[in-house]
């Protein structure tokens, strides 16, 4: 079939909306009609070249839609099912899956970063030439073929836009709070970066019962959004952020600090703003090849814990449904996270709005 999709041919160029050929699903795969796809900074890293990936590539990794067809051997979903797409599929059999860390599954790591399906080939082509799939999803497209394990069935009444943002920003941000840090009620939290993941982290901290939630971002619109979604204080990074945070936490620093921007210098500030014995969580994706200076002497003497959280340290098959339920119960105001929707041909403008802070989370909608 022929589909329209957002194609990146070279770094630092505009995305083109092009017609590509999409083959049907093979064994263990599913054809999904995309209904919504979130605009995430991780996709932008491909455009800038900060994330290296085979090209040309159809980007998009935060998607939701309807199952159109299934390949041989697929029993987990059927045509007509509504699904949120999981960009970290798991095999259930490798070391990490067997030890409760499906988000780190090593069966799919190679194909995902190669931009292919598990068999090493693509389902997308351009005049017979391979076109690669970002995160195995390539969901800035009218239709896509994905591994069956990337499809998490969600209730039909869940809006597609909500299901899409659960597929990345919400799971990454809320999961970093509930799964990676396990924030305790009454604690103090700082969140550095108030984009989609950072705002989801703020919502997660509020959900966990944190008493003090400090959001740090250079953009006023994002600071305002953080207050709306549960922050108790906001700060500009142009101030002496570490001292300001200590001033809000009786001189100690926060119990938990989250870096959701993927900037090494901000990661270092995040570490400095955490109290002795506190926990630092990096959930933002820093550019490949970058490095962060964590002073070992302070790490030891102050017994700080520094950890990474990839995809919210989540089990997506479980956590997607948990966050969907929390949304329907009114405990996670995910509708307030989404501030604008776009058509596919507005994708470049959507990324511009993301970078300027004009949107909390933009979502491309289809149909």
Catalytic center residues: 40, 42, 45, 61, 168
Task: Give the integer Cα–Cα distance in Å for 298 and 249.
Answer: 19
Number of other residues whose CB lies within 10 A of the CB of residue 343: 12
What is the β-pairing status of strands 212-216 and 188-192?
Answer: parallel
Rounded to the nearest 10 degrees, the angle between the axes of helix 41-48 and helix 347-356 is: 100
Which residues have CB under 8 Å from 307's CB, separation 6+? 180, 181, 279, 280, 281, 282
Residue with tokens 């920003």: 169
Roughly how many angstroms between the first and final C-alpha of the chain, as a whole number? 17
Task: Give the integer Cα–Cα distance in Å for 337 and 266.
Answer: 23
What single-letter DSSP state applies at residue 288?
T
Helices (H) and strands (E) in the chain, counts: 12, 18
- DSSP run (H or E) holding 200: helix 196-208
What is the β-pairing status of strands 124-126 and 57-58?
Answer: unpaired
Contacts from 345-354 at CB under 8 Å and sequence distance 24+? 345/17, 347/6, 347/15, 347/17, 347/39, 347/140, 348/14, 348/15, 350/39, 351/15, 351/39, 351/43, 351/44, 351/47, 353/39, 354/39, 354/41, 354/44, 354/195
Which residues have CB under 8 Å from 195's CB, separation 6+? 41, 217, 222, 260, 261, 354
| Token pair listed for 324 | 């969907």
Which residues have CB under 8 Å from 199's CB, separation 6+? 169, 173, 222, 225, 226, 229, 337, 360, 361
Task: Give the integer Cα–Cα distance in Å for 237 and 228.
Answer: 19
């Amino acid at each position: 079939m022929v589909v329209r999709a957002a194609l990146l041919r070279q770094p630092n160029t505009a995305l083109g909306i092009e017609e590509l050929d999409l083959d049907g699903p093979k064994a263990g795969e599913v054809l999904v009609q995309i209904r919504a796809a979130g605009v995430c900074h991780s996709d932008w890293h491909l455009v800038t070249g900060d994330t290296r990936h085979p090209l040309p590539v159809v980007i998009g990794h935060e998607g939701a839609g309807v199952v159109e067809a299934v390949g041989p051997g697929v029993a987990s979903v059927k045509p007509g099912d509504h699904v949120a797409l999981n960009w970290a599929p798991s095999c259930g059999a490798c070391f990490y899956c067997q030890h409760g860390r499906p988000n780190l599954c090593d069966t799919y790591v190679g194909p995902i970063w190669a931009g292919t399906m598990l068999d090493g080939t693509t389902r997308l082509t351009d005049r017979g030439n391979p076109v690669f799939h970002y995160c195995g999803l390539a969901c800035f497209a009218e239709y896509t073929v994905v591994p069956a394990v990337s499809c998490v069935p969600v209730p039909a009444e869940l809006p597609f836009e909500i299901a899409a943002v659960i597929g990345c920003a919400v799971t990454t941000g809320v999961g970093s709070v509930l799964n990676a840090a396990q924030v305790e009620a009454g604690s103090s939290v700082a969140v550095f970066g108030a984009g989609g993941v950072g705002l989801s982290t703020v919502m997660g901290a509020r959900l966990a019962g944190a008493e003090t939630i400090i959001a740090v971002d250079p953009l006023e619109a994002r600071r305002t959004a953080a207050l709306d979604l549960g922050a108790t204080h906001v700060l500009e990074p142009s101030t002496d952020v570490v001292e300001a945070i200590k001033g809000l936490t009786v001189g100690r620093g926060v119990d938990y600090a989250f870096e959701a921007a993927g900037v090494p210098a901000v990661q270092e500030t995040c570490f400095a703003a955490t109290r002795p014995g506190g926990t630092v969580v990096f959930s933002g994706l820093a550019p490949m090849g970058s490095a962060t200076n964590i002073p070992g002497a302070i790490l030891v003497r102050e017994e700080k814990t520094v950890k990474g959280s990839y995809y919210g340290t989540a089990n997506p098959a479980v956590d997607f449904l948990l966050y969907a339920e929390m949304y329907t119960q009114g405990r996670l105001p995910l509708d307030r996270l989404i501030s604008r929707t776009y058509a596919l041909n507005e994708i470049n403008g959507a990324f511009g709005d993301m970078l300027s802070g004009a949107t909390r989370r933009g979502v491309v909608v289809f149909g």
